[in-house]
Amino acid sequence: MPAKKIAVRARSASVAPAGPPDLTDRRVYRHWFDEPIRFGDQDSLGHVNNASVATYCESARLALSQELGYVPGKHGIGWVLARIAIDYRAELHYPGTVNIGTVVSRLGTSSCTLLSGIFCKGKCAATAEAILVMINYTTRKSVPIPQGLRRKLAKLESNRTARR
């Protein structure tokens, strides 16, 4: 009986997509902002309160906007925070300074997703994901991100698919 011929199809080499970035790694971030830990940031448990960590992230987002030359409300449009998720990894204490790193993980038509790492003394104390939407302040409707700002944000975009 003659041998059967078996067709073998070569598989194309494919590269597995990069996994999510390690948000506890300082090298992930493209923008940095320092914020002092204030005595009033602490709660009755003697550590920095969770709401203060959200405020550190807000301060870093505002600093980033200003450094990109974007002044909220200047042209009747601005960012609103649609979502924030924070993972607390270590306690923070007064006195001290936090270093907040930020990277753009997604840039949509009218929204963007920022990832942040909050570090103190070289240790990651928290990571955060924030979704911002550009709105018209009069109509309260979403509007496209201005092209000039979009180009600047794209330069801060992560090279990896960013999901926490």
Beta strands in 57-110 (DSSP E): 77-88, 96-107
| Secondary element (H or E) of residue 6 | none
Higher pLDDT, 21 or 119: 119
Q: Which two tokens stand for residue 4?
A: 């059967």
Query: What's the start-to-end Cα distance of the chain, in Å?
Result: 58
pLDDT grade, residue 20 (50/70/90)?
A: confident
CA dist 1 and 20 (Å) reads: 54
pLDDT tens column, 66-117: 999 888 778 899 999 999 999 999 999 999 999 999 999 999 999 999 999 9
Residue burial 29-46, b: 16+ Cβ < 10 Å; e: rest? bebebebebeeebbeeee
The CB-side HSE value for 161 (13 A sphere, CA atoms) comes to 4
Q: What is the mean pLDDT of residues 146-163?
A: 82
- Residue 14 is predicted with a pLDDT of 44
| pLDDT score of 39 more than 70 | yes
Q: Supply the pTM of this predicted model.
A: 0.84
Q: Give the distance from CA 47 to its chain's centroid.
A: 24
Q: Which residue has the tokens 């302040």?
A: 137
Which of 22, 162, 34, 146 lies closest to 89, judged by CA? 22
Is the pLDDT at 141 greater than 60, yes or no? yes
Q: What average pLDDT is seen over the chain?
A: 89
The 3 state secondary structure assigned to 113-139 is EEEEEEEECCEEEEEEEEEEEEEECCC
Helix (H, G, I), strand (E, B) or coil at 142: strand
- State the architecture of 26-154 in CATH terms: Roll (3.10)
Domain boundaries, the chain: 26-154
